[in-house]
Structure formats: structure tokens, C-alpha cells
Amino acid sequence: MKVLFAASEIAPWVKTGGLGDVAGALPAALRQQGLDVRVLVPAYPALKAAFPHAKEVARPHWLGGLLPSPVLLQAHVPDGGTLLLLDYPPYYDRTGNPYLNADGHDWLDNHLRFGLLARVAAWLGSHSTTLAWRPQIVHCNDWQTSLAPAYMHYLPGNAAKSLVTVHNLAFQGLFDYASLFELGLPDNAWHPGGVEYYGRLSLLKAGLQFADAITTVSPTYAREIQTDEEGMGMGGLLRHRAEVLTGILNGIDTAQWDPETDAMLRKPFTRYGADRLEARAANKTALQRLTGLEDEAGLPLFGVVSRLTHQKGVDLLAAIAAKVLALPAQLIVLGTGERELEDAFRLLAHAHPGRCAVTVGFDEVQAHHIEAGVDAFVMPSRFEPCGLNQMYSLRYGTPPIVRATGGLADTVIDAADAKRGNGFVFDEPTAADLFAAIRRAANAWKDQQLWQRLQRNGMARDFSWDAPALRYVELYSALLAA
Ligand code: ADP
Ligand code: GLC
């Protein structure tokens, strides 16, 4: 089975969040199931630097509208995978974030940058392709590639089936009417049953409208997004397409995130497994020293690794952080995002030296140190399509404190369940409910027997990509059989 996996980021080279992790790991898991999967991504500087010998394999042209003629490069990943790098330097040879300029604003030509990515995905799946390798399935991810099914619908010569995976419904790829022509879409696509969305063009909606199948990244989120309350304006459309919509919980990269072999746990950090949980004490000390926290074994240490945005509910934590520290407890936060939230956490660290440490930045190594060193992980998301960090936490014996939403609800079981509990779950996205959950965790932590049971329950669960990959294979097969 030949599958083109189209994405706007891919770990470990270019990653702003979980989408990058998924694009880095799922195709490899699918290859292990015997599928021929190639990943199409823009040739960002980091990818060109990583694959200097990437070979030109095609020059798609006449793509329509104002879309330029890019070059497709092919590169081979050490694990045996193949990347198709979409090279058009005026679009992708920009430093920093794939979506934002240095001021934190969207690049003004994002509709063209990602429209081109989607258009080339559709081209590869069509009869126009000049590549000998032609996918039977074009698997798109989020708004950045979601226009592909619309191109496949409106342009002649389509051969492949299409699948859109929603990683986050909040990002809808909204642009104005003029984009329709710039992107080479026909005038008759402009209606509510086409790509128009409340007077604008939504790249995500286009995909949800025309994909042969839609998935999202957890079963609970799949239900939530079909409601008016949580459907972010797409609830009606998603209910209409309910028959082709399924939720498949993400896996995690279990080679990268394994406390027994984690390459980022170098001295003074140590590796450990479920049978050596006492080794985590050394990691806590190392983390405290590295981040300037008091070297205090008797206080519970809570940790956060997150985009600092409204979605993640970290403002709720900021609101009660002083109360949490007074429990007493310590807090460590790693994240970047909205200015006001970054500032709020900076201020907290400033006001509580030794008790609260904050790193504003993106730091893969510290993320591993936090998972391996804190006592409990805090993830109070308002909504969470899947969430990877709570799964890393479970695997690292770091019971997560989460709100019952999306993938968090599908992975974390409250300690009230004496047999299966692996963390702490609260219902309402309020500072009061979050505080109650954190206080419950702080109390439970004092009972080391109970705590270790929570830790071991989390560590015992299989979060690998094996099972999810099989679900995708089944879905692809069903699409081809239809
Ligand atoms: P989202 O994609 O919504 O941000 P996920 O939980 O799916 O949330 O994935 C987030 C990923 O990004 C995880 O791999 C997490 O470790 C990583 N991450 C987020 N913020 C940071 C940061 N500041 N430093 C390092 N890694 C981060
Ligand atoms: C999005 C979601 C997150 C999910 C990730 C990968 O960024 O916010 O919940 O884990 O995509 O699917």
C-alpha cells in the first residue's frame, strides 16, 4: 500500500508541537506494518541542512492561480523512510517558526505557502504526477495540508483516496475570498458546501468537506468536535460527516521517551524503570539544582511542559500558583507562547525564588529532565485533542493532573479508582477545580505506597504506535476497498 503523508512539520527537524511528533513517528510505524509511506514536507532550512544530498525527483508545474513551480527533492531517513522535500526557497527558506514571523504574527503568504504544499500533495496523487511512485492514499494533517482533498475533488485526473487527520480544530486556516483565485480553486468552489466558511476560505473546512475519511487524535475528541459547544463552528459539518469520522488515539515515540534508555538522562540524571522508582530522587535533585530550586526532597515538585496558550489552561495554574507553592510545594514550568502568559510565569518565578522555576523557551532536553524528575505533571487543558505530554508523564512514572477532556480523558484514570488509577482528573476548567486536584495529588504523594501504585499503573500501559498504526492500516484498507 502506497501512502503519501503530508505535513507542515516533522520531528526531530522541525517541530512546534505534537503534530511534528506524529509526523515523525506514525509514518515509521506504518512502514513497520509493511506500508510504503513517504512524507511530504516543506524544505525548511533545518531539513535542507539535515539532508544536503537530497536529490531532485520532480518539478511540478502549472499548479494554477498564483502558485509557483517548486522542486521536489527526495531524501532518505536513517530508519529507512523517504522524505519528499518541497523546495521553493522564497516560501520556505525563512528562519524561525514555520508559521510565524519574528514578531509572532502569521506569515502574510501562509495561504500560498501551505496551499502549495496541499496542491503538490494532490498533484502527487493525481495522473499529472511525473513521479513513478504514485500514492493510493493521500493522508493530510490539519489545515496546512487540508486543501489537498478539495484540489482532488475539483481538478481532473484524481486517483488517490484522501484522509484528513484533525490534530487541532482551533486552527482553521482562514483566508479571504481573493485567496480562492490565488490558490487556483474554481469559482464554483465558493459556497457553504464547498470551501467557503462564513464568508471566508477555510483550508481546514475544505478538507473536512471533501476528504474520503476524517480522523482525529482521540475517541473523546472525536465526540466533542461533533457538538456545537466544542465543534468550534465545524460541529454541524462534522455531524454531517459522522459516518467517515473516527478517533484514533496517538501513540508516542517510545524509543525517544523511555526512562530506561533515555539518551537525554545523562549524569547527574539517571535512567530508571518501574522496578527502580527510587532512582527518580536523584533526578529530582539534579533538576532542582539545574533550575535554581531549593534542594528539597520533602516537598512535592509539580512540573509543566507546554505551549503557554489559552488552550492549555496554564492561566488557571498561574492564578493559583502562589497557593500551590504555599501547600507547600515547588513548581517548575517550561514553555513558550502568548506574551502575557510568559510574563505571568516569569513574575511568579521572580516572586518565589527557590520555590518556582520558569524557563521561557523550547528545550527538548529540559522537557525530558522534567518528565524524569518532577513528582507530578500538570496539564489543565481547556481542550486537548490528544496530548502527548500526559502520555510521556505516565510512561515516566510522573502521575499527570489533567482536566477530563479529549485525549486526556482517554488516557488518565483518576486515583479514586483504587485498582487502575494513574493520575488525577478534574472536570471544570476553573482555577478552583485545578487547585483541588493539585491538593489531592500533594496529599496522595505523602502516601508513598499509594503513589507508587499510581506510578506503576501509568508505566505499565502500552503507548507505542503499534496499535494506532494498525488502526490506520485498517482505515486505509477500507478506503481502498470502497
Ligand atoms: P500541542 O501539540 O498541542 O502543543 P502535545 O502534547 O500534543 O501538545 O505536544 C506537545 C509536544 O511539544 C510534546 O512533545 C512536548 O514535549 C513538546 N513541547 C511543548 N512545549 C515545549 C517546550 N517549551 N520545550 C520542549 N518541548 C516542548
Ligand atoms: C495538536 C493537539 C494535541 C495533539 C497533537 C498531535 O497539537 O493540540 O492535543 O496531541 O496535535 O496530534
Q: What is the DSSP string of 272-284?
A: --GGGGGGHHHHH
- Mutate which of 97, 218, 305, 370 to test ligand 1's pocket (most atoms within 8 Å of Cβ)? 305
Are residues 142 and 165 in contact, defined by beta-carbon separation less than 8 angstroms? Answer: yes
pLDDT at residue number 79:
82
Residue 180 has pLDDT above 90, yes or no: yes
Going edge to edge, which strands form the sheet with 301-308?
Answer: 356-360, 330-337, 301-308, 376-379, 400-403, 424-426
Task: Say yes or no: CB of residue 250 within 6 Å of ligand 2.
Answer: yes
What is the mean pLDDT of the segment spanning 427-433?
98
pLDDT digits (tens, 9 = 90+) for 345-400: 999 999 999 999 999 999 999 999 999 999 999 999 999 999 999 999 999 999 99
Residue 27 has pLDDT above 90, yes or no: yes
- The CATH number assigned to the domain with range 2-251+465-481 reads 3.40.50.2000
Confidence of residue 80 (pLDDT cuts 50, 70, 90): confident
Residue 242 has pLDDT above 80, yes or no: yes
What is the mean pLDDT of the segment spanning 413-429?
98
What is the mean pLDDT of the segment spanning 154-162?
89
Ranges for all domains in the chain classified under CATH 3.40.50.2000:
2-251+465-481, 277-459
Confidence of residue 240 (pLDDT cuts 50, 70, 90): very high
CA 260 to ligand 1 centroid distance, Å:
21
CA 168 to ligand 2 centroid distance, Å:
6
Task: Say yes or no: CB of residue 22 within 6 Å of ligand 2.
Answer: yes
Q: Each residue of 341-378: b (16+ CB within 10 Å) or e? A: bbebbeebbeebeebbbbbbebeeebbbbbbbbbbbbb
The dihedral built from the CA positions of residue 367, 250, 204 and 121, taken in this order, carries a sign that is positive
Residue 64 has pLDDT above 90, yes or no: yes
Atom of ligand 2 nearest to the CA of 381: 9
CA 1 to ligand 1 centroid distance, Å:
31
CA 389 to ligand 2 centroid distance, Å:
10
Task: Say yes or no: CB of residue 384 within 6 Å of ligand 2.
Answer: yes
Are residues 251 and 465 in contact, defined by beta-carbon separation less than 8 angstroms? Answer: yes
The number of residues in the chain equals 482
Residue 158 has pLDDT above 80, yes or no: no
Architecture of the domain whose range is 277-459: 3-Layer(aba) Sandwich (3.40)
pLDDT at residue number 96:
79
Ligand 1 is surrounded, with C-beta below 6 A, by 17-18, 21, 305-307, 334-336, 362-364, 367, 386-389
pLDDT digits (tens, 9 = 90+) for 192-235: 999 999 999 999 999 999 999 999 999 999 999 999 999 999 99
Atom of ligand 2 nearest to the CA of 17: 7
Average pLDDT, the chain: 97
- The model's pTM: 0.96
In this structure, which ligand is nearest to the CA of 359? 1
Residue 157 has pLDDT above 90, yes or no: no
What radius of gyration do the chain's Cα atoms show? Answer: 23
Residue 424 has pLDDT above 80, yes or no: yes
